[in-house]
Chain A
Amino acid sequence: MPAIDLDRIAELARIELTPDSAAAFRADLERVLALVDRLQAVDTTGVAPMSHPLDLPQRLREDAVTEPDQRDALLALAPAAENGLYLVPKVIE
C-alpha cells in the first residue's frame, strides 16, 4: 500500500485536521485503500471502464432560456452580498 500523505489530501479537500481527527482519518483512508487494492486484484482485461452505474444515455435539454431571474432570492441565502454580488473572503492566487 502506498504511504498516505494526509496533509496533502486534507489540503486538496480544504479540510483542517486536528491531531485526533488526523489519526481517525488515517485509519479510515487505510481501510478505503485496502478495499481499492482488492478491487485492483480483479482481472478487468477487455472490460470497458464504467463511468456510471446506470446503463443509460444522457438526456438532452432543448437550448432555451427557462430560468427566470431569481437573484434577490438567491443572494438572500448568502452570508454576505453587496451590489448584486456574492461576497467571499479575499481570494487572490
Chain B
Amino acid sequence: MNRTDWETVIGLEIHAQLTTRSKIFSGASTAFGAEPNRQACAIDVALPGTLPVLNRGAVERAIRLGLAIEAEIAERSVFARKNYFYPDLPKGYQISQYELPVVKNGTLTIQVGEGESAYEKTVRITRAHLEEDAGKSLHEDFHGMTGIDLNRAGTPLLEIVSEPDMRSAEEAVAYARALHTLVRWIGVCDGNMQEGSFRIDANVSVRPKGETRLGTRREIKNLNSFRFLQQAIDYEVRWQIETLEEGGTVQQATVLFDPERGETRVMRTKEDAHDYRYFPDPDLLPLVIDRAWIEEIRANLPELPQALRRRLVDEHGLTRYDANLLTASKELADYYLAAVAAAGQAIAKPCANWILGELAAKLNRAELDIGESPVRPEHIAALVQRVHDGTISHAGAKKVFEALWTGEGTDVDAIIEAQGLKQVSDESALEALVDAAIAGNPKSVEEFRAGKEKALNALVGQVMKASRGAANPQRVTELLRRKLTA
C-alpha cells in the first residue's frame, strides 16, 4: 500500500484586546477585575435609544498595528452588524467590520526553530478589523438561570486574520508568539493571556503533499496559551490524518480543545453554522482615516523587533539566536540597548552574554521581570567595561554581579575596591611571581620549550596561586611567554 505524505495547513485568527482606557463605543472603563456590571453603561447593556460613538484610541491602535505589519490602512472602512442572539451581547448583534476592514494585506516575518535548522518565514496577514467583545455568561446555578456580567461587553478587540500560510504547529506557535511580542512592543495590547487579552483560533486542515487545493478545515476556538495551541494542533492534525487514512472524511466544524484530555471535540458542524446576516450598521458612519493621521502615527512607532534584530546581528555582532532572545520583549531589548549605550558598542557582545546568561538565570529563579531587576543596565555596562579593561577577572566580575544582585553594593568600582577584586596587571608586581614560577618548575619550562603549549597553563596556574587569584591571567601569560621565548 502506498502511504500518503500529508501536509498540514494552518491559518490563525487572533483577537487582541486593545489597551484603551474606555470601551470601543462607550465611555465605560475597560479596567480588568471590577465587580460584575460596574463597568457596563447604558450603551453596553443596549438600552433602547442609546447610540455607539467610536473611540479614537481604538482606531489609533488599529493603525499602529497595521503600520507595524506593513499593511494597507483603509482610507474608508465600514462597521457591520453581526447578528446573533446570545445574552452576552444584549443588542442581538456584535458590531464588527466585514467587507471593508480597517487594515488589510500585511505581513509578519517569523523565526522558526533554533540553531542549525532555524529558518525565516513570512506569513501574510489578510486583514485586521475592529470589533467589540461580548460579556460573560456565568453558568453556575442561579435557580436554573444564567448570570450575565457585561463588564467586558464593548471592550475593543482587533481581530487579526492570517492567510493559511503555516505548515506545522511549530510555525503556528512561532507566528502567534511573534504577533504577541509585536502587539506588546507597540503598546496596542497588554498580551495577558490568562485575562483573555490575546486569544487564538486556529483553522487546521491537511492535504496530500503536492495537492494545491485546501483540505476541509476545522476551526479550534479560543486557545489561551501557546502550549495549548501546540497541543491542540498536534492532536487535530493526527486526528484528521487518521480519519482520512481510514477512509473517512473530515466535516467542516468548529471544535473546542480540552486541555485536561488533550483532545478536540466538536462544538458545531457546518449544518448548524451561524448565519450572521451581516449588514452595515446604520448607527455608525464610515470610518475615514486621513493620510496625515497615519503619518503622525508612523512617526511615533518605535523601532520594530525585526529591524532591531537585524541591527543587533549586523552592527552589534550578535548571533541571530541571541538577537532573537533579546527582542522577545520591548523591556528586555530596551534594557540591553541601555547597557550597550553605556558600555559602548564595541563590547556589545559581552553585555548580551551577561544579560542572557547570569542575569536571565537570576531573574528566572527569582521569578522577576526584567523591569524588576535589582541589577540595572548601567551596572552591566560598568561590569563589562571593568572586565574588558582588565581591572577584574571574569571570576571577580561574578562576585561583583552577586553584590549588585543582593544589594550589597550599587557601584561597581566601589564593590571592586571593597572586595579587593582588582587584578594585579602591573608588570613590575607580576615579574617577581613569574620569575619564581619559572625557577620553581623547571620541568614545565622544559616541556614548554620543547613545544608543549599546555605546559604554559601549569605555569600560569602557579603564578595565579602565588598571587592568591589576584594576578591578571592574561598579563601573566604574556609575560611568561615573553620570558620563556626570549
Contact call A91/B20, Cβ cutoff below 8 A: no
- With a cutoff of 8 Å between Cβ atoms, the chain A residues found around residue B87 in the complex are 86, 88, 91
- With a cutoff of 8 Å between Cβ atoms, the chain A residues found around residue B150 in the complex are 86
- With a cutoff of 8 Å between Cβ atoms, the chain B residues found around residue A87 in the complex are 142, 145-148
Verify if B42 is at the interface (C-beta below 8 Å from A): yes
Contact call B145/A80, Cβ cutoff below 8 A: yes
* Majority secondary structure, A binding face: loop
Contact call B21/A64, Cβ cutoff below 8 A: yes
What is the interface residue range for chain A against chain B? 35 or more
Contact call B39/A58, Cβ cutoff below 8 A: no
- With a cutoff of 8 Å between Cβ atoms, the chain A residues found around residue B40 in the complex are 71, 74
Question: Once the chains are docked, how many angstroms separate the CA of A82 from the CA of B29?
Answer: 22
List CB contacts (< 8 Å) of B128-175 with chain A.
137-139, 142, 144-150
Which among B53-61, B116-124, B196-204, B342-350 touches the partner chain? B53-61
Q: Which of A12, A51, A69 contacts B39 (CB 8 A)?
A: A69
Contact call A63/B55, Cβ cutoff below 8 A: yes
Q: Which of A56, A69, A91 contacts B86 (CB 8 A)?
A: A91
The 6 tightest CB contacts between A and B, nearest first, are A63-B57, A66-B27, A85-B147, A57-B288, A67-B41, A60-B56
A83 to chain B, nearest CB (A): 7
Contact call B56/A58, Cβ cutoff below 8 A: no
Question: Once the chains are docked, how many angstroms separate the CA of A14 from the CA of B86?
Answer: 11
Question: Once the chains are docked, how many angstroms separate the CA of A77 from the CA of B27?
Answer: 21
- With a cutoff of 8 Å between Cβ atoms, the chain B residues found around residue A91 in the complex are 86-87, 137, 146
- With a cutoff of 8 Å between Cβ atoms, the chain B residues found around residue A67 in the complex are 22, 26-29, 41-43
List CB contacts (< 8 Å) of A72-93 with chain B.
74-75, 77, 80, 82-93
Verify if B321 is at the interface (C-beta below 8 Å from A): no
Q: Which of A82, A86, A90 contacts B144 (CB 8 A)?
A: A90
Question: Once the chains are docked, how many angstroms separate the CA of A54 from the CA of B280?
Answer: 13
- With a cutoff of 8 Å between Cβ atoms, the chain A residues found around residue B41 in the complex are 67, 70, 74
Verify if B45 is at the interface (C-beta below 8 Å from A): yes
Verify if A20 is at the interface (C-beta below 8 Å from B): no
Contact call B145/A84, Cβ cutoff below 8 A: no
Number of interface residues of B (CB under 8 A): 54
Question: Once the chains are docked, how many angstroms separate the CA of A80 from the CA of B54?
Answer: 31
Verify if B244 is at the interface (C-beta below 8 Å from A): no
Q: Which of B57, B99, B144, B287 contacts A58 (CB 8 A)?
A: B287
- With a cutoff of 8 Å between Cβ atoms, the chain A residues found around residue B363 in the complex are none
Verify if A16 is at the interface (C-beta below 8 Å from B): no
Contact call A71/B21, Cβ cutoff below 8 A: no
Question: Once the chains are docked, how many angstroms separate the CA of A66 from the CA of B36?
Answer: 18
Verify if A38 is at the interface (C-beta below 8 Å from B): no
Question: Once the chains are docked, how many angstroms separate the CA of A84 from the CA of B294?
Answer: 42
- With a cutoff of 8 Å between Cβ atoms, the chain B residues found around residue A90 in the complex are 139, 144-146
Other A-B contacts than A83-B147, A85-B148, 17 sampled, CB-CB below 8 A, are A12-B275, A12-B277, A51-B78, A58-B54, A63-B20, A63-B58, A64-B21, A64-B22, A65-B22, A65-B29, A69-B39, A82-B147, A84-B35, A84-B36, A88-B87, A88-B146, A91-B137
Q: Which of A58, A66, A85, A88 contacts B284 (CB 8 A)?
A: A58
Given known A-B contacts A58-B284, A85-B37, A74 and B58 have beta carbons under 8 A apart: no
What sequence of 0s and 1s flags, for each residue 34-52 of chain B, a beta carbon within 8 Å of any chain A beta carbon? Answer: 0111111111010100000
Question: Once the chains are docked, how many angstroms separate the CA of A67 from the CA of B26?
Answer: 8
Contact call A60/B148, Cβ cutoff below 8 A: no
Contact call A54/B285, Cβ cutoff below 8 A: yes
Q: Which of A14, A57, A75, A92 contacts B37 (CB 8 A)?
A: A75
Question: Once the chains are docked, how many angstroms separate the CA of A12 from the CA of B268?
Answer: 16
Contact call A85/B280, Cβ cutoff below 8 A: no
Verify if A43 is at the interface (C-beta below 8 Å from B): no
Can you list 12 A-B contacts (CB < 8 A)? Answer: A52-B285, A57-B287, A57-B288, A63-B56, A67-B42, A67-B43, A82-B147, A85-B142, A86-B37, A86-B148, A91-B137, A91-B146
